[in-house]
Chains A and B, each alone.
Chain A
Amino acid sequence: MAKARALDKRRKSIRSIRKITRTMELISTARFKRAMDRASAATAYTERITALVRDLVRSGLEVRHPLLQPRAEVQKAVLLVLSANRGLCAGYNSSVLRLANIRRKELTATVPEVQLEVSGKRGISAFRFRKIMPDETFTHFEDRPSFEEVDVLASRYLSAFEAGDLDRLDVAYTKFESLSRQHAVVETLLPLGGLESGGEEHAEEAGRTQYDFLPSAESILDEVVPTSFKVKLFKCFLDGAVSEQIARMMAMKAATENADSMVSHLSMIYNRARQGQITSELLEVISGAEALNE
């Protein structure tokens, strides 16, 4: 009886774990939908900013801004790593951290001063484990990073860059491409690589519309560039949040499926063991009766 009971106990515990993973899957599905809505709203904003820049370029303005100019000598760089506050999301954290580590090594080899800033408890503890102390840590960016929170961070980078205290900003995060494709990337956000001004369209549609600029195209450009940096950073945070939820959804789905197959496997063994026990007990009874008859 002992073996069958042990099997039953295991089956029960797997069932209760399955309940938990199933719930977590449902929660992250709901969160993912919310995060996805926010991300697509941000995409609308980025697209409009990009369109605005394209229109500016079309009006014959030369795009030149201190934020776009690469620095000749990089004295100080910041690496910002966006990881999750929670685990149980498959390779989400580890793939970001792996890339971040590689980039950090590259940076420390070439740049005299490298600062490491980490968002998310998982990333912080992973760096601590490697005996690397992050210079700044953030844990308040949950699955719904708000623009105001990111704005604080972005403004700090912008003023540091303008004052010359910062020459390069790299962000390691998980880029969201589609529901089934998210991968970790490291992008250089400062200096801005370019404002995605559509080059080919420029030629054919140039001069189609004459804009009035209030106050002037230059002054608008002065404000568009920092704004587009902020939005880009915000987009990184949103992408990270969406990808985290997807990763957790997938991980929990796999866990639930595994639990299902384990339960059915254990059920089979349990039934066999029980049947075997009954058979052996019957045999004992029969053989006992036979012995009495003789």
Chain B
Amino acid sequence: MAELKCIVVTPERTVCEEPADFVALTLFDGEIGIARAHTPLIGRLGCGEMRIQCGGRTTRYYVEGGFAEVLGNVVTVLTNRAVSAEKLDEAAAREQLATARTQMANTPELMAARDRAIELSRAQLRVAKRIS
């Protein structure tokens, strides 16, 4: 049977295109695991970690929003930003969290923006921490 293939695309470049045994993605409400012969699926991604396991080796990425499509043993991830977990800057994420926390938020829109910023930086921190 055909092996699973994982393609990660951002508007600027194709981040990775590689075979995999198992892919774990963070959807909008939690993690999903995809092995081969998964049902066709289109899902909204949240922000968080993406793991690609291939032959005992695990590659980790930090993925920020977008969509995932599973069809015929091909997992396509369309996202605005995908960074390899090793390249995540923990200090920068921490700083981002600190500035987001002190941001003024006196309207619902500003509040939503602040919450989103906090969520994004926390997700980055989580992924960065797991690697170290």
Q: Contact residues of A with B, CB < 8 Å?
A: 38, 41-42, 44-45, 48-49, 51-52, 55-56, 146-147, 151, 209-215, 217, 219-220, 223-224, 227, 230-231, 234
Q: A121 vs B13: C-alpha distance in the bound complex, in angstroms?
A: 28
Residue pair B12, A42 in contact (C-beta under 8 Å): yes
Within the complex, the shortest CB–CB distance from A106 to chain B, in Å, comes to: 31
List residues of chain A with CB within 8 A of the CB of B55.
none
Q: A147 vs B12: C-alpha distance in the bound complex, in angstroms?
A: 7
Q: Can you list 14 pairs linking A and B with CB atoms under 8 Å apart?
A: A38-B12, A42-B11, A48-B78, A52-B78, A56-B42, A151-B80, A210-B40, A214-B27, A214-B32, A214-B43, A217-B42, A223-B44, A227-B67, A227-B78
Q: A223 vs B68: C-alpha distance in the bound complex, in angstroms?
A: 12
Q: Does B66 contact A (CB under 8 A)?
A: yes
Q: A38 vs B28: C-alpha distance in the bound complex, in angstroms?
A: 29
Are A211 and B42 CB-contacts (below 8 A) given A41-B14, A44-B9, A45-B78?
yes
Residue pair B66, A227 in contact (C-beta under 8 Å): yes
Q: A55 vs B76: C-alpha distance in the bound complex, in angstroms?
A: 13
Q: Does B53 contact A (CB under 8 A)?
A: no
Are A214 and B42 CB-contacts (below 8 A) given A48-B76, A52-B78, A220-B67?
yes
Q: Does B21 contact A (CB under 8 A)?
A: no
Q: Does B96 contact A (CB under 8 A)?
A: no
Chain B residues with a Cβ closer than 8 Å to the other chain, count: 23
List residues of chain B with CB within 8 A of the CB of A51.
69
By CB atoms of chain A within 10 A, which of B11, B27, B44, B67 has the most? B11
Q: A227 vs B78: C-alpha distance in the bound complex, in angstroms?
A: 10
Residue pair B11, A224 in contact (C-beta under 8 Å): no
A49-B78, A52-B78 given; name 14 further pairs at CB < 8 Å: A38-B13, A41-B11, A41-B14, A42-B11, A45-B9, A45-B78, A52-B42, A55-B71, A146-B12, A147-B11, A211-B40, A212-B41, A219-B44, A220-B44
Residue pair B78, A213 in contact (C-beta under 8 Å): no
Q: Does B39 contact A (CB under 8 A)?
A: yes
Closest 5 pairs (CB-CB, A-B):
A214-B43, A41-B13, A212-B41, A147-B11, A211-B40
List residues of chain B with CB within 8 A of the CB of A55.
42, 69, 71
Residue pair A212, B39 in contact (C-beta under 8 Å): yes
Q: Does B84 contact A (CB under 8 A)?
A: no
Picked from B12, B28, B41, B44, the residue with its CB within 8 Å of the CB of A41 is: B12
Q: A210 vs B10: C-alpha distance in the bound complex, in angstroms?
A: 26
List residues of chain B with CB within 8 A of the CB of A220.
42-44, 67
List residues of chain A with CB within 8 A of the CB of B27.
214
List residues of chain A with CB within 8 A of the CB of B28.
214-215
List residues of chain B with CB within 8 A of the CB of A223.
44, 67
Q: A18 vs B95: C-alpha distance in the bound complex, in angstroms?
A: 51
List residues of chain A with CB within 8 A of the CB of B29.
215
Residue pair B11, A45 in contact (C-beta under 8 Å): yes
B residues 63-80 near A (Cβ < 8 Å) are 66-67, 69, 71, 76, 78, 80
Picked from B10, B13, B40, B78, the residue with its CB within 8 Å of the CB of A209 is: B40
In the complex, residue of chain B having the shortest beta-carbon distance to the beta carbon of A49: B78
Q: A210 vs B67: C-alpha distance in the bound complex, in angstroms?
A: 17
List residues of chain A with CB within 8 A of the CB of B9.
41, 44-45, 48
